[in-house]
């Protein structure tokens, strides 16, 4: 009974140690997955930017692209550094475990040697048969026979344990070797990334000098872009305010409200939308952000200020815009150059998908998460395919980065 209890405790201890070991690996495994994803992102961004065909040189666009590359490389270096640190901790702990196992193995060998020596001396002085025949009673002879059996079994178990420990040590040594090789590989990769990023920064400085020489020209370009954005945003804001007013009229709300009057179904949808905050899919299958939300200095012309009520995402030519959540098409708006914007309502939340060449939905249509709603416009001059994405609660815009998964 005591033996069984002992084995149960050993089993529990082993399970617990495996569980702890798994937990230790989890952080590095997460970092490893993030590193692999960043490497894929980097390849995608570089390929996307390399394939861009321009009919005229646009220094501002080139600088923005270069900033995107530098940002991705910086994050990759940061993740590699963290993963290397976690790996170094694992190597250190593994080495401690190997050292302890070596000490355990030496102790086992020493005990086993002493036991064999004692057995040999005992065997030479008194044979096993004489040991049994010298018993004073049958019961004593039986007990001595059982003792000899257990002693032999124990010797065999000790030999097996030594063999098992030896195999275990060899396996741990191989694991340690692999981890050290992986760590060196990560350090080499980090060094390569750092050299590459230095070249990009030198290239950026050269382009920046060109911008500074013609700052007034680029300021004018930025003002024109912002003026057009403000005009489109004002149209979108009016559509949302009119929809709010209509919802309040329908529900016979007397006071003038800036919030949607929601049905029970719409309230449930809004709750589901909020529950998925930070987990919503991107409005495109592939892409990277070139302009973030909020008031900010222009990344290139530092004296110019941008007020962005959403994000701009560069993607592949021919890419489709996707609904980020279930909802109803509130409106399809026609903007400059016959481009379109689609507004989708999710209770009292609105998502807007701008710069579409054509759309596949109409006002009042029900849409599902990741459903394609239109083809994104590709600029014939820059060769860029960019979608503008805005998210708001009633008429107040919110930062899409807080809602979209890993934006």
- Spatial CB neighbours of 248, under 8 Å, sequence gap ≥ 6: 256, 257, 260, 261
Coil/strand/helix, residue 331 = strand
* Residue 96 in tokens: 């401690």
pLDDT score of 277 = 97
Tokens of 98: 């190997």
Q: Domains in the chain and their CATH numbers?
A: 2-210 (1.10.287), 215-402 (2.70.70.10)
- What pLDDT is stored for residue 404 in this prediction? 97
Following CA atoms 134, 139, 141, 142 in sequence, which dihedral angle do they give, to the nearest 10 degrees?
A: 180
Q: Taking the alpha carbons of 396, 397, 402, 403 in that order, is the dihedral positive or negative?
A: positive
How many CA atoms lie within 13 Å of 25's alpha carbon, on the beta-carbon side?
8
Residue among 382, 294, 394 at smallest CA distance from 48: 382
Retrieve residue 380's tokens.
């014939």
**Long-range contacts made by residues 250-258, C-beta under 8 angstroms, separation at least 24?**
258/394, 258/395
What pLDDT is attached to residue 20?
A: 43
Which DSSP string do the residues of 93-109 spell out, in sequence order? Answer: HHHHHHHHHHHHHHHHH
- Report how far apart, in Å, the C-alpha atoms of 147 and of each of 3, 4, 196, 251 are: 17, 20, 73, 92
What does each C-alpha distance from 176 to 94, 96, 187 come to in angstroms? 7, 11, 17
Cα(136)–Cα(262) distance, integer angstroms: 98
**Measured between alpha carbons, how far is 26 from 68 in angstroms, rounded to an integer?**
29
- Helix (H) / strand (E) containing 144: helix 138-213
Question: Could you list the mean pLDDT of each consecutive 10-residue stretch along the chain, which spans 407 residues?
Answer: 41 43 58 66 52 46 66 77 79 78 72 61 52 60 62 63 72 75 78 77 70 64 76 90 89 74 94 97 92 78 76 94 98 90 97 97 97 94 88 96 94
pLDDT at 2: 42
Whole-model pTM above 0.75?
A: no
Fill in the DSSP letter of residue 337.
G
Dist. CA 186–CA 82, nearest whole Å: 10
Rounded Cα distance, 281 and 403, in Å: 9
- To which H or E segment does residue 238 belong? helix 215-250
């Amino acid at each position: 009974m005591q033996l069984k209890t002992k084995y149960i405790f050993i089993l529990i201890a082993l399970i617990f140690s495996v569980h702890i070991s798994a937990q230790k690996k989890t952080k590095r495994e997460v970092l490893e997955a993030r590193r692999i994803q960043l490497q894929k992102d980097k390849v995608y961004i570089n390929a996307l930017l390399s394939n861009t065909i321009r009919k005229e040189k646009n220094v501002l666009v080139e600088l923005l692209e270069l900033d995107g590359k530098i940002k991705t490389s910086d994050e990759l270096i940061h993740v590699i550094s963290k993963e290397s640190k976690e790996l170094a901790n694992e190597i250190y702990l593994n080495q401690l475990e190997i050292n302890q196992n070596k000490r355990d193995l030496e102790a086992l060998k020493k005990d086993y040697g002493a036991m064999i020596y004692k057995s040999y001396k005992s065997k030479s002085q008194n044979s096993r048969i004489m040991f049994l025949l010298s018993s004073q009673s049958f019961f004593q002879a039986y007990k001595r026979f059982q003792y000899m059996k257990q002693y032999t079994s124990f010797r065999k178990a000790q030999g097996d344990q030594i063999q098992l420990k030896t195999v275990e040590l060899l396996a741990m040594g191989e694991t340690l070797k692999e981890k050290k090789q992986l760590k060196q590989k990560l350090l080499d990769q980090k060094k390569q990334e750092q050299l590459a990023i230095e070249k990009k920064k030198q290239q950026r400085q050269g382009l920046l000098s060109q911008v500074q020489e013609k700052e007034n020209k680029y300021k004018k370009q930025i003002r024109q872009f912002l003026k057009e954005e403000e005009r489109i945003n004002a149209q979108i804001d009016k559509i949302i305010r009119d929809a709010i007013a209509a919802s309040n009229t329908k529900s016979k709300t007397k006071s003038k409200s800036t919030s949607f009057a929601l049905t029970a179904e719409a309230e449930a949808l809004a709750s589901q939308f909020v529950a998925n905050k930070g987990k919503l899919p991107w409005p495109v299958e592939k892409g990277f952000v070139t302009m973030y939300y909020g008031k900010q200095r222009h990344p290139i012309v530092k004296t110019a200020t941008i007020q962005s009520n959403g994000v701009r995402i560069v993607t592949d030519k021919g890419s489709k815009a996707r609904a980020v959540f279930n909802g109803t098409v509130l409106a399809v708006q026609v903007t400059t150059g016959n481009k379109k914007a689609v507004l989708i309502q999710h209770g009292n939340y609105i998502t807007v998908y701008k710069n579409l060449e054509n759309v596949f939905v109409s006002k009042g249509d029900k849409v599902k998460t990741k459903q394609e709603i239109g083809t994104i416009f590709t600029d014939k001059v820059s060769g860029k395919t960019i979608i503008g994405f805005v998210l708001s609660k009633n008429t107040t815009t919110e930062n899409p980065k807080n809602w979209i998964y890993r934006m």
